[in-house]
Amino acid sequence: MKMMKPWLADHIPSDRADRVHQIVSRCLAAPLVASAMALGICIAPGQERATPLPPTELAGLRWTNAFFPDATYRAAVPTGESLLGYPIGQRAANSTEIEKCLKAWAAAAPDRARLVEYARTYEDRPLHYLIVTAPKNLSRLEEIKSGTAKLEDPRKFSEAEAKKLIETLVPVAWLGYTIHGDETEGSDAALAVLYHLIAAENADVTRLLEDVMVIIDPLQNPDGRDRFLKMIAENRGTTPNVDDQSLQHTGYDARGRGNHYFFDLNRDPLFGVHPETRGRMNAVARWNPVLVVDAHGMGPQETHLFSPPREPVNLHFPASDAQWGRLFARDQAAAFDRHGLVYYHGEWNEGWYPGYTDAWPVFRGAVGILYEQARIAEDGVRRPEGRILSYRESVFHHVIGSMANLKTVQSNGKKLLEHFYHIRQRACAADGPYAKRTFAVLPTANRSRLDKFIKLSQLHGFEMFQAGSEFTAAGATDQLGREVKDRKIPAGTILIPNRQPLGHLVAAALEFDTRIPVKALEDERQEILRNGGSRIYDTTAWNLTMMFGLEALTLPMELPDVAQPYKPADRAETGVVGEVEAPVAYAIDGADDSSVTGAARLMERGLQVRAAEKAFEFDGQKFARGSVVITRLDNRNFTGDLRATVDATARELRLRAVAISSGLGEGDLPDLGGEHFKRLEPPRIALLSRGGSSPLALGEVWFFLDHELGIRHARLNVEGSPDLSRYNVVVVPERFGGPLPGSWTNRLKDWVRAGGTLIAMGNSAAQFAEEKADLSKVRVLPDVLNKLGDYELAVFREWLARDGELPPADAVWSHKALPGLKYPWQAIDGAHAEEKELKKRDAWLNLFMPQGALVAARVDAKHWLTFGCEEPLPVLALRNPVLMAAEGVEVPVRLGYLSKVEGKPDDNANADAKDKSDSSDKKDADKKEKKEPPRVGWSALPPGTEMHLRMSGLLWPEATHRLANSAYVTREPVGRGQVILFATRPTFRAATLGPARMMLNAMIYGPGYGAAQPIRP
């Protein structure tokens, strides 16, 4: 590609009108022509088309340098230009164009390239990687693969054998591009690098391919990219645009960053939710690359960034990774220097979160590298110094980095393979960092949730075991950091030893409480105090068992003798079970998250369904609260086959639906005809979208509706004014673009009062909690600093209602009316500070709100919203509003897990703290000053209790004092309907499965449980 055709030249030549005409035709009219031709419609030659005015001159837009000026190419391999109709990098190629190139090149160069489709997106676009290497390597792909697979497990052979094996292997370098679909340059750079590697005849390339097996994944997010390219196309005009604020550079919501459901795929490798990620994780595990590159784009006025990241770097990154990072960076910097380009590393880019695309392979033994290039959507972008950075030059910067990294792999291939082996050897060492530590995930009746965890662990490649029988573990630690003495670990417990080849990854994903080192913590605190913002780029907590809401322990031991390799249990029979000829009902256990799906799908299939608000027992079988019940009587008018419909629904969800012969409950447990089996109202769900809604938040709910529930629903455009009376559930996700318009809040208010279930989260919840919204009694903390006593009393009352002790019997049964009654608030014995002081305090505490920490919540086990939830419930706390709820509002979940202080019922923390500063003189003085009692934030702890809040991640004490006792979810009746508010996104990354269960309960059970449902006459 020595000659470049300029798209738009600095000085437009005399044929400019034709040129411009061609461009506009290609850009705007070509799709129309193509579709007309496809329909067999002829377009007459010379047909009239609009001829735009030629663009005026724009100095510096032209960047026509060859990417590889000294290369000569094999004629048999078609050029990018011949395939695309424009030179590679001149504009962003869409996924179809990219696929066309990959297929053509793989077909034209079978000696160097092999194309593999590794996954399909939700929109049915293929994801590909192309293996490019010398013919001699390509002919023994299987051998290279099985060789590196052997290196995966150093327990099976000696160091000397490993060295011998490494001599026979070729290192694999994996380059992935454009996981954020609107950071488009990466994919075009991938095409440039691919063509060069596949077609170049130069000796440096053929040698590189002999020494390295290159795998290029040119487009990691095709759905996002094509969504964004459509935005560019529809905003394209007749003249080049170099203003980075213009729509054709910015796009509009949801832009192209996320995949079909707007998820950020560059956070997904930890949770493996999406097919793009799962396919890639499997492929990376299959080829065991020693280098994984993830090429991104950043702000258009930036320069270029590459790895390594600054501190904090995840503690489970292998120690030797840092020096490799520096080595790659030196070579990459030298390559940029040769072109006179500037770049940086570190600064905002830290390395704490382990779920980035370039981080996940590091735990497996690869070197991970991030690129961030100043992002330009097309044409070019004017920079402050007046220079224009063109799209094609921006593409070139990724080319420079890619080639530099490949050369570093080439020069260090064997050493990188040794690095891969040594990391795994270290993870397996009996005296290594991961010895004598096993993670135990306890059995649960929530089978579908445990299955999700097991599948994810398998995707990560963890070796898993299961306790064949009960055993005792001394010194186990629970998820609240408490030592559990001689805990009996039941049979069936999943056991994941930390000492295994993927020990680093196991530790990164499962260690309960990975703590940021002191220096980075100091920097973080100073940054907060200096500039009011965090230096941490993502959440500081991600522990998989906590995210999933599964109870787990850390055992300070190797695998116990009773451990057996994990085998998926033959799932007990699914579908309708029980030899009952004419059952009165079928029951599905509510402990399982999939029971909600069962209820939703049964209702969609036309059945009448109930959900039990209490645990029950029929025919000697126990069912948890929230269990789903389908009675024969309710479904007398059902025209289909009741048993077959229940059976099919249960089977598709791998659930059991137990046929019940008698509706007489065991003992005092509910009977079938009583009030505890509430009839559900089929939900008609609308999810507010667009118009400033957060794509992440609404995408998560949408994903759950589609993939967890699989039921019909509507996504409504906030910019319109649809008829809300069609729906009985409306979900308002968090918003990026300011509050929901007033017209919507007014309509929603009327709709709720008429019987709707309104569910809002995060800042949308805060909007409904404003007094002026006139919809909810919930408030945000800064708005109620003058009446904290009311909220403190609500905390006490809730606790007493749940676990309070009886007054002394003589007082209860006394015939005399005795003076001296005790009030709960007297235990607090002191006022809150003045409002002015409280405001000052709250502003201070607010500085320290978490970037994402897992905190323990307490659960009202009698509330329908908490079906399937147990305490302590892990909840992800973010920089979200602090919700306050008192009288008139139910709080199914509050932050702060309360437990009784063992053995000292009267000796609570408050009393302790008070007694310590005691002398009677001082007491009198305190009274005069109205001294405050010891509180956590705005509430004292109920007598005889202690509170656990932080489970994992960075939660400053200041944030603890702001969040403790605040509401995580609230529910209140409003007119004939109800309002349910979540403090944060309950479906965060589709991974916070405890809160997500409440979201499912809210959407599916809400209309039946919380809102009045009229009998239709």
Contact positions toward Zn ion, by CB under 5 A?
Answer: 180, 183, 296
d(CA 107, CA 91): 24
CB 804, min distance to Zn ion, A: 52
Residues 832, 838: Cα–Cα separation, whole Å: 8
Q: For residues 646 and 430, what is the distance between their CA atoms, to the nearest angstrom?
A: 52
The candidate with the shortest Cα–Cα distance to 968, out of 761, 797, 821, 812, is 761
Q: Which tokens hold the place of 352?
A: 């704490």
Write out the E strands in 241-316.
Answer: 291-298, 304-306, 310-313
As measured in angstroms, the least distance from the Cβ of 177 to Zn ion is 10
Least distance from C-beta 325 to Zn ion, angstroms? 19
Q: Which two tokens stand for residue 76?
A: 């048999």
Nearer to Zn ion, 186 or 626 (CB): 186
Tell me how far CA of residue 220 lies from CA of 104, 175, 181, in angstroms.
19, 10, 8
Residue 617 Cβ, how far from Zn ion at the closest point, in Å? 53
Distance in Å, CB of 359 to Zn ion, minimum = 14
Report which residue's Cβ sits closest to Zn ion: 296
- The SS3 of residue 950 is strand
Q: Which is nearer to Zn ion, 368 or 756 (CB)?
A: 368
Q: How far is the CB of 265 from Zn ion (least distance, A)?
A: 10
> From the CB of 180, what's the least distance to Zn ion, in Å?
4
3-state secondary structure 266-319: HHHHHCCCCHHHHHHHHHHHHHCCCEEEEEEEECCCCCEEECCCEEEECCCCCC
- Dihedral in degrees, nearest 10, Cα atoms 201, 207, 212, 218: -20
Shortest separation between residue 241's beta carbon and Zn ion, angstroms: 22
d(CA 318, CA 423): 7
Helix (H, G, I), strand (E, B) or coil at 345: coil
**What's the CA gap between 305 and 326, in Å, rounded?**
14
Q: Which is nearer to Zn ion, 296 or 610 (CB)?
A: 296
CA atoms within 13 A on the CB side of 985: 24
**Which amino acid does the sequence have at 395?**
V
Residue 268 CB, nearest approach to Zn ion (Å)? 13
Which residues neighbour 152 within 8 Å (Cβ) at sequence distance 6 or greater? 288, 424, 501
Identify which of residues 125 and 180 has a Cβ nearer to Zn ion in the complex: 180
Across 452-472, b (16+ Cβ under 10 Å) vs e yields bbbebbebbbbbbbbbeeebe
Nearest distance, CB of residue 781 and Zn ion, angstroms = 34
Residue pair 839/782 in contact (Cβ under 8 Å)? The answer is: yes
Q: CB-based burial of residue 801 (10 Å sphere; 0-12 exposed, 13-18 middle, 19+ buried)?
A: exposed
CB of 886 to Zn ion, least distance (A): 43
| Residue with Cβ nearer Zn ion (284 or 305) | 305
The nearer residue to Zn ion, 183 or 972, going by C-beta atoms, is 183
What lies within 8 Å, CB to CB, of 174 at 6+ separation is 129, 215, 217, 284, 287, 289, 291, 292, 293, 361, 366
**Residue with Cβ nearer Zn ion (220 or 446):** 220
Spacing of C-alpha 405 from chain mean position: 30
End-to-end CA distance of the chain: 76
For the chain, the residue count is: 1017
Q: Are 243 and 258 in contact (CB under 8 A)?
A: no
Nearest to 602 by CA among 579, 585, 581, 622: 585
Q: Select 19 or 989, whichever has its Cβ closest to Zn ion.
A: 989
Is 296 or 392 the residue whose CB approaches Zn ion more closely?
296
The most distant pair of C-alpha atoms in the chain lies apart, rounded to whole Å, by 111
**Measured from the CB of residue 384, what is the shortest distance to Zn ion in angstroms?**
23
Closer residue to Zn ion, CB minimum distance, 182 or 379:
182
Could you tell me the two tokens for 950? 């932080």
Instruction: Give the DSSP letter of residue 735.
Output: B
Q: Which of 863, 883, 898, 893 is nearest to 992 (CA)?
A: 893
Instruction: Say if residue 397 is exposed, middle or buried (CB neighbours under 10 Å; 0-12, 13-18, 19+).
Output: buried
Residue 958 neighbours by CB distance under 10 Å: 17
- Nearer to Zn ion (CB atom), residue 280 or residue 948: 280
Kindly tell me which of 296 and 449 has the beta carbon lying closer to Zn ion.
Answer: 296
Select 266 or 408, whichever has its Cβ closest to Zn ion: 266
C-beta of 296 vs 504, nearer to Zn ion: 296
Q: CB nearer to Zn ion: give 221 or 493.
A: 221
Q: How far is the CB of 434 from Zn ion (least distance, A)?
A: 32
Cβ atoms 576, 643 nearer than 8 A: yes
- Cα dihedral sign for 860, 861, 867, 873? positive
| Least distance (Å) between residue 298 CB and Zn ion | 7
Main-chain phi, psi angles of 951, to 5 degrees:
-105, -50
Q: How far is the CB of 182 from Zn ion (least distance, A)?
A: 9
262 Cβ contact partners less than 8 Å away, ≥ 6 residues apart:
254, 695, 696, 698, 699, 702
Provide the 8-state DSSP code for 946: E
User: Least distance in Å: CB of 316 to Zn ion?
Assistant: 23
Nearer to Zn ion, 185 or 613 (CB): 185
Residue 402 C-beta: closest distance to Zn ion, Å: 16
Measured from the CB atom, the residue of 125 and 296 that comes closer to Zn ion is 296
Cβ 297 to Zn ion shortest distance, Å: 6
**Residue 613 per-residue DSSP state:** S
Cβ proximity to Zn ion, 258 vs 318, nearer residue: 258
